[in-house]
Amino acid sequence: MKKNASEEIREAVTAGETALGIELGSTRIKAVLTGPDHRPLATGEHAWENQLREGVWTYDLEAVTDGLQACYADLCKNLEASCGAVLKRVGAIGVSGMMHGYLVFDTAGQLLVPFRTWRNNITGQAAGELTELFQYPIAQRWSIAHLDQAILNGEAHVGRIAHITTLAGHVHWKLTGRKVLGVGEASGMFPINIERGDFDRACIGKYNERIARKGLDWRMEDVLPEVLCAGEDAGTLTAEGARWIDPSGELEAGIPLCPPEGDAGTGMVATNSVEARTGNVSAGTSVFAMLVLEKALSKLHPEIDLVTTPDGKPVAMAHANNCTSDLNAWMGLLGEAARVLGADADPADLYGKLLPLALEGDADGGGLLAYGYVSGEHVTGFSEGRPLFARRPDSSFTLANFLRTHLFSALCALRAGLNILIEEEHVRVDEIRGHGGFFKTASVGQRVMAAATETPVSVLETAGEGGAWGIALLAAYRIRRGDGQSLPDFLKPVFAGSLGEPLPPEPNDVEGFRRFFERYRRGLAIERAAVDALE
C-alpha cells in the first residue's frame, strides 16, 4: 500500500532524515525543517523587533532566548499537527542571523555591552580609518568597525574583551560550546584572505600595531572566532544547548551542526547563487545584492563590501540598511484606515490587493518622492534617518503612484551601490534571483526589482522561506560533504525545476525608475534637512 504524505513525513522525522535551519532576521525568527528531498516539512516563526536605546539599535539577549524557544516550539507544534510526529532528533542543524554588529564577551562569557546591530551607523571614524589602514573596504556595520570605534571612544569595557562574535556565532556557541563562524559570516566581520579561507593575517598584524599603545591585554587573533568553510565540522548539540532551545526536553543532544552563517550567505544558498556571474538580492527590512565575481575589483570602493560565499568564493556586496520598513508602516496605516471603515484588513489580503496597484501608476511615480530611512544609510552618507514623504503641488497624488513611489524608494540606495559595480567595475550578471518579503506579492516585487537593477529577475518558489531554508540546506550539506561533492554540485539537483522564469525589465519601468532615481538623488538635501531639524 502506498504511504500517504503524512506517513512519509513522520517516517523521515523519526529516522532523523531531516535538516533544521534557524535564522534570526530583523523582524522575525524563522525555523524550517526539511526532509530527504530538501523541501520544507514544517516551519515555525516568532516576531520580534529591535529597539532604539540611547541612540543604539539593539536586541536583548533575553529576547534571543525567548524568541528561539518560541520559534522552535511553533515548528514542533506545526509538525505534530501536520503528521503527528514529535521532533526528537534531526540529521543536522544550522543557525543563521543578521550579519555584522557587535557582540563582545568577557572570560566568564558575560556580555559586556548591549548588542549593537548592523543597523547602527555610528562607526564612521573607525570605518574610514580602517579602510585606509587595510586598503580594504570596511563598512560601518562590520564588527571590526564597531570594535575599533569603541576603542577610539575610550569605552571602559574594551580592556575586558575575551571574545567577539556575531548573532549567529553567539547562538551557535550557546548550542555547541564552540566559538566558530562560517567563512561567509566571518567575511563581514574582518577582512578575509580568499586563498587561505581565513582572517587576513596581514590585516591582523596591522590592527595589532594600531592598538598596541592602548594598553589592552589581548591581540586580535585571541578574540576572533575560528573560521570554517561550508560542510566542515562545527560541533554537535550539547545537552545544555538542547535544553536552551527546547525546554520541553524532547530534543536530543549529539546532533551535528554546520558552520553558522550570515543572512547574506544563506541568501546565496537559498537562490543557488554561489558560482561566478550569478547574483541574488535579499530584500526585506534591509536589501542587499550579492554578485559572485569572476575577478577582483579594479580598485577600492568604500561603498561596496567584499565578502565570500559560504564555500569561500569572492563576492561583491551592495548593501542598503533600509528597504521595506517604511512601506510596511504605511501599509499598517492603510490597514488601520480600512478597519475604521469596517473593512477586513488582513495583512496578506491588504498587501495582495494594494501593492499590484503600483504597477498601474505613472512610470516615474507621478512626481512623488519618499525616503524610507528608518535608520542611517551609508551608501548615501547618512548616520541617522528620518522617514519622509514629499510632493510638489502639481504631482499626481494617487494611491497607485504613492505605492509605486515607496516600492521604488525602497531600492534606490541599493541602485546607488549597484551603479558602482555595473557602470564602474563592469561586473556582469546574467540573472538576479530574488528572495525575501519584498517578493511575496506575486509579480510586483519581481517587476520593480527588474526595473531597478535593469536585469532579468527570477524568484524561487521557496522565496518566502528565505535564509532559514538556506541554512537548512547548509546543514544538509554538512552531512553530505563527505561524499566529495562541492557546494554548487550539491545544490544543482535541489533547485532543478524550482526556479521561475526570469522576468526581463520592461523598458517603460526602467525609464521610469531612472527618472525617479534622479529625483531621489536631488532630494537627498530634503532628507538631510529632516535629520538636522527633527532631533
pLDDT tens readout for residues 61-73 = 999 999 999 999 9
Residues 213 and 418: their CA atoms lie apart, in Å, by 39
pLDDT at 464: 52
The reply to whether 446 falls in a domain is: yes
Range ranked top by mean pLDDT from 27-41, 271-285, 339-353, 487-501: 27-41
Residue 17: pLDDT above 60? yes
pLDDT at 482: 59
Q: Which set of grid coordinates corresponds to residue 196?
A: 587561505
Dihedral sign of CA atoms 130, 410, 468, 273 in order: negative
Question: DSSP assignment of 283-328, as one string?
Answer: ESSSEEEEEE-SS--SS--TTSEEEE-TT--EEEEEEES-SSHHHH
Residues 75 and 246: their CA atoms lie apart, in Å, by 11
The reply to whether 208 falls in a domain is: no
**Structural domains in the chain (count):** 1
The reply to whether 324 falls in a domain is: yes
The reply to whether 24 falls in a domain is: no
Residue-wise over 171-209: b if at least 16 C-beta within 10 A, else e?
bbbbbbebbbbbbbbbbbbbbbebeebbbbeebbebbee
Residue carrying C-alpha cell 542571523 = 97
* Least confident among 36-45, 245-254, 428-437: 428-437
pLDDT at 465: 60
Residues 182 and 165: their CA atoms lie apart, in Å, by 11
The reply to whether 98 falls in a domain is: no
Residue 1: pLDDT above 70? no
Residue 463: pLDDT above 60? no
The reply to whether 150 falls in a domain is: no
Selection from 440, 458, 492, 486 nearest residue 38 by Cα: 492
What's the angle, vertex CA 157, arms to CA 156 and CA 159, rounded to 5? 90
Q: Are 98 and 24 in contact (CB under 8 A)?
A: yes
Residue 126: pLDDT above 70? yes
| Segment 169-195, tens digit of pLDDT | 999 999 999 999 999 999 999 999 999
The reply to whether 191 falls in a domain is: no
pLDDT at 311: 95
pLDDT at 480: 79
| Segment 382-424, tens digit of pLDDT | 989 999 999 999 999 999 999 999 999 999 999 999 999 988 9
pLDDT at 384: 92
Residue carrying C-alpha cell 544550522 = 94
What CATH number should be reported for the domain holding residue 336?
3.30.420.40
- The model's confidence at residue 3, banded by pLDDT at 50, 70 and 90, is low
Listed in sequence order, the residues at least 6 apart from 233 whose beta carbon sits closer than 8 Å to its beta carbon are: 256, 478
Residue 314: pLDDT above 80? yes
Residues 57 and 68: their CA atoms lie apart, in Å, by 20
Judged by DSSP in three states, 66 sits in: helix
Residue 213: pLDDT above 50? yes
Residue 2: pLDDT above 60? no
- The model's confidence at residue 429, banded by pLDDT at 50, 70 and 90, is confident
Judged by DSSP in three states, 154 sits in: coil
Residue 497: pLDDT above 80? no
> Within the chain, how many helices (H) and strands (E) appear?
18, 21
* Least confident among 185-194, 307-316, 455-464: 455-464
The reply to whether 122 falls in a domain is: no
Domain interval for residue 381: 272-459+505-535
Q: What is the mean pLDDT of the chain?
A: 93
